[in-house]
Amino acid sequence: MKKLMQKVTGVALATLMAASSAGLGVFAAEDGADKIVNIGVTDSLGGVNPLMMDQTEINKYAADLQFLPLVELDPELNFQPMLADSVTTEDNQTFTVHIDDAATWSDGTPVTAEDVEFTILRLASPVVNNTTMMLYAFEGIGDDGFTEEGAASIDGIKVVDDKTITFTAKSPMALTTFENTYGRYIHTLPKHVLADYSDEELMTLDWFNHPDVISGPYFLTDYDTDHYVSYEANADYWKGAPKIGKLNLKIVEGSQIYSGLQSGEIDITHHTMTAIPQEDYESIESLDNVKTVYGLPITNQSAFIQTANIPDARVRQALLYAIDRNQLVEQLLKGHGEVVDGFLSSASPFFDDSIEPTPYDPEKAKELLAEAGWDGSQTLRFYVNSGDSTFVNGAQVLVAEWAAVGINVEVTTVDLATLMTVAGSTDYDIMAVQYTYAPVDPYPDVDWLLSGEGSWTGYTDDSVKEALGGTQQTSDIEEIKGLYSVVDKKVQEDVPMFSAYVISALGAVSNRLTGAEPSAYGFFNDVQNWDIAQ
C-alpha cells in the first residue's frame, strides 16, 4: 500500500544533506564511509519498531535493512533466501524454515531458530497488539491473532534445532502464501539482547530507534517520520560489508523527485515507494545523468467501497459504469498502465485476460440508480491519499463523472497515516489507496479485504470464500488462475471495490550508482553490492 508525499522545505532538504554528509562512520574513508546514496521516496515512515509497525512498504523496507526477512521476492518474482536459506513443506500445512548457517548478528552471535520463535511470541502477544501479521493462521494462536498474555510457547511454532523451526497452520496454505505473507514480513529480532524486556517495555523501547545489534546490512542512525531515515553500513554484515557507507531514505514531495534526480541529491527511486507525478515522466526520461526503468503493472489504484454504507450492488455498479477509466490511464498515466476489474493485473501468472473490464456507460449508471431508487440526496464520503498527487487530480475527475449521473461525492484528502486510521475505522463510503497485490500470491490481501465486517469493504460471499480457499490447496497454475477468475468476476458483479487503474510506474537511477536498479521487488536484496562508479 502506498503513497504519502510529505512537504519538505528547501531548508529541510539542505539540513538533511548536511546531516548525511557529517554522520558518524563505521568504515575508514577508503572503505566507503565517504560514499553516500540517497533514495528518494514519497511515503512517510510509520515507525521503526518491527513489533509495532503496520505493513506499508516503507515500514517493511526500513526494517529489512536492519532485520532481514526470512525470504524476499526478486525483480523476476522469484523467492530468494535472505535470513533463511530454505522454506519447505510436504503437506501445505507444516512449513520448515532453516536459518542460513552463516547468518550472524552484528555482534557475532549466530542467528538461531530461537530468535525467530522469540519474535513470533512477541508479535502474537495481546499486549503488543500488532493486528497486521495475521498470525491467527497458525496452531496455538487465537482467531484474533494473539496468544494468551505471557505465553512462553506456541503449539504451532516449534524449534527443531539451533537453525530449524517449523510453523504449522490450522488449515492448508500455499507455500507461496507462507513465504509472501510471513517469510517477507517477519523481522527476526535478537533474543539475547531483548529477552529481559517485558512486552510493555518492548512497545516503546528506545533501543529500536538506534539498534546496536542487527542481522542486516545497515544500522539505523536517525530518522524523522516525515523527512528522512538515515543508516550507516554494518561492516560485519554476514553477507559482506556494504560498499556504500551511508544510506538515506529522503522523504520528499513527488514534485521534488525530478529536481532531486537532476541535481544529484537523489540517486535512485523505487517503483512503489516513490510516486513520481506523471507530468514529470518525460522530463525525467530526458535527463542525461539518470537511467529510467518502467516497472510491471502491479500497483493498483484501488477504491474500496464500504458495502455496509452502500448496500445496494446496483449503486456500486453505477459508480463503476459512471467513470471513464481508459481516459484516466491516457490522461493521468500517459498510457503507462492498464484497466482491469478485480484485484489481479496482467503481471500476475493468475490473471484472466478473458474478463472484459466494465465499460464507461453513464446511461447504464443512471438506469441502475433509478432501479435502486437513488434520489441523489445522499453525499458519499470519499477519502483519498493527499500524497498521491496523480490520483488527487483523478479523484476530481471521478467526482465530476459521478455528479453527471446523479451521485454526489465529497472528497477528503488526508496523509497516508491518517488514511490508514480512517480505513481501520471503516467510517467512510469510498476510500482509495495505491495497493500492490503480490502478483505471485494475492491471497492474503484479497482474503482479508473480502472478509466481511471490519474489512475495508465489509463484503463477503460464499463462492468467493470457497474459491480463495481452493487457491491454498493446489500448486497448479491453471487451476489457481481459474479460482482467482471466480473471485474477480464476482467482484466485477458486486463491486465491493474497483480498480481505477493499474500503474506501470517509472523508476530512475543515477548513472553514478552501480549494482542498483529500480524495481518493485528485490530492491534491497543485494544492497551490500551497490557502489559509486569511479
242-253: string of b/e by CB count within 10 Å (b at 16+)? bbbbbbbbbbbb
Cβ of 188: how many Cβ atoms within 10 Å? Answer: 26
The per-residue pLDDT for 17 is: 36
Instruction: Output 33 or 452, whichever has higher pLDDT.
Output: 452
- pLDDT score of 27 more than 50: no
> What residues have CB less than 8 Å from 10, skipping those under 6 apart?
none
The per-residue pLDDT for 531 is: 98
For residues 346-356, average pLDDT: 95
Query: Residues of the chain with pLDDT > 90: what percent?
Result: 84
Q: Which three cell numbers stand for residue 88?
A: 519447505
pLDDT tens track for 86-117: 999 999 999 999 999 999 999 999 999 999 99
Type of residue at 531: D
29, burial (CB in 10 Å: exposed 0-12, middle 13-18, buried 19+) = exposed
Q: How many CA atoms lie within 13 A of 103 on its CB side?
A: 28
Distance CA 208, CA 203 (A): 9
Instruction: Look over the chain and give the mean of its residue pLDDT values, rounded to a whole number.
Output: 92
- pLDDT score of 11 more than 80: no
> What residues have CB less than 8 Å from 347, skipping those under 6 apart?
296, 297, 298, 439
- pLDDT score of 30 more than 70: no
Instruction: Output 288 or 18, whichever has higher pLDDT.
Output: 288
Label residue 310 by pLDDT band (50, 70, 90).
very high
Extended strands (E) in 363-429:
379-385, 408-414
The per-residue pLDDT for 22 is: 32
* Closest to 520 measured CA to CA, from 285, 262, 294: 294
Extended strands (E) in 169-281:
218-224, 228-233, 246-251, 268-269
Rg over alpha carbons for the chain, rounded to the nearest Å, is 23
The per-residue pLDDT for 475 is: 79
DSSP for residue 178: I
> Which helix (H) or strand (E) is 291 found in, with range?
strand 290-305
- pLDDT score of 478 more than 80: yes
The per-residue pLDDT for 277 is: 86
* Structural contact between residues 110 and 103, judged by C-beta atoms closer than 8 angstroms: yes
Label residue 534 by pLDDT band (50, 70, 90).
confident
DSSP for residue 437: -
- pLDDT score of 8 more than 60: no
Label residue 31 by pLDDT band (50, 70, 90).
low
The per-residue pLDDT for 14 is: 33
* Structural contact between residues 254 and 497, judged by C-beta atoms closer than 8 angstroms: no
Helices (H), 65-177: 113-123, 175-177
Helix axes 477-494, 313-321, angle to 10 degrees: 100
- pLDDT score of 320 more than 90: yes
For residues 496-513, average pLDDT: 96
> What residues have CB less than 8 Å from 217, skipping those under 6 apart?
65, 233, 234, 237, 239, 242, 524, 527, 528
> Which helix (H) or strand (E) is 71 found in, with range?
strand 71-73
For residues 351-367, average pLDDT: 97
pTM of this structure: 0.78
What's the full length of the chain, in residues? 534
- pLDDT score of 16 more than 50: no
Distance CA 394, CA 166 (A): 46
- pLDDT score of 13 more than 90: no
For residues 197-219, average pLDDT: 97
Q: What are phi and psi of 181, to 5 degrees?
A: -85, -40
